[in-house]
Amino acid sequence: MSADSSIGGKGGELSGLLDLRMPADSQAIANVTDTISATLIQLGIPEEKRLEIALAVQEALANAVVHGCKSDPSKEIRFRLQRDSQGRIVITVTDPGPGFSLATLPDPKQPEKLYANHGRGVYLIRQLMDEVHFEHGGTQVTMWKY
Amino acid sequence: MDISVRKRAEVQLIQLRGQLRLGPAVDELRLVIEEALGSGDIRIAINLAEVPMIDSSGIGLLVRFLASTKQRGGNIKLVRPSKFAIQTLRLVGVLNLFEIFDDDDAAVESFA
């Protein structure tokens, strides 16, 4: 994992807080989410909001590792934590995978899906964050916490 | 994640400490539960008091083993899940699948 705090924001509107790269290894996710949590504490983000952001990040990174990179640790995932001019948290996770279509994702709350052991990650991200955009065919997710 | 297991009145009491998330934590808990089921222990109580966060892989693990224990006449019950864990389980619609208790004793007694 490498870190670079000098990233510039999109159109100059975002200030970079973290720019990390991690191998597509599920064991590497905890390090990133813990780093993010520590940064959010330094920013004075309240605990409830911090937990929601951390879980959304956890899910986005897990999707990138498992689905985007098929858990191939030779592949790399990029994570960016930024803040916009209104103080909102902006997070971007990018993977080199083939992407996916939101239309193919089932609703995990359907009765026949309740006991499934997978399929809740994207749903959770959308519930936990205030705004979520899947871009570049699903290989990049950008999410906002107001 | 720290995991400790003890048996009380034919109930496997599993105490977790740390985040229950994809990676070693979920892998280790899966092994612990598989070992219990392999030994015929289908009554399981999991204490979540010191688990601040459960991710979707942790939820998937819990509901999958909840289904398999129930199919065999057992159950997985939860003890003192944190406020955020409850919120997360509710968000994905599985909170009501679980019986939840305030302490280990109540969970163990509920199996009697």
Boundaries of every domain in chain B: 2-110
pLDDT tens for B8-42 read 999 999 999 999 999 999 999 999 999 999 999 99
How many domains are contained in chain A?
1
Query: Does ipTM surpass 0.95 in this model?
Result: no
- Beta strand pairing status for B100-101 and B75-79? parallel
Is residue A86 scored above 80 in pLDDT? yes
A→B contacts (Cβ < 8 Å), by residue, are: 26-27, 29-30, 33, 48, 51, 54-55, 58-59, 62, 65-66, 108-109, 114-121, 123-124, 127-128
pLDDT digits (tens, 9 = 90+) for B41-67: 999 999 999 999 999 999 999 999 999
B111 exposed, middle or buried (CB, 10 Å; 0-12, 13-18, 19+)?
Answer: middle
- CATH placement of domain B2-110: 3.30.750.24
CA nearest to B8, candidates B73, B105, B85:
B105
A124 Rama class: left (phi>0) / alpha (psi -120 to 50) / beta: alpha
Which helix (H) or strand (E) segment holds residue B65: the answer is helix B56-71
Nearest to A27 among B24, B52, B61 (CB): B24
Distances (CA, A) of B22 to A55, A74, B58, B111: 11, 19, 7, 30
Q: Note the residue count of chain B.
A: 112
CATH of residue A97's domain is 3.30.565.10
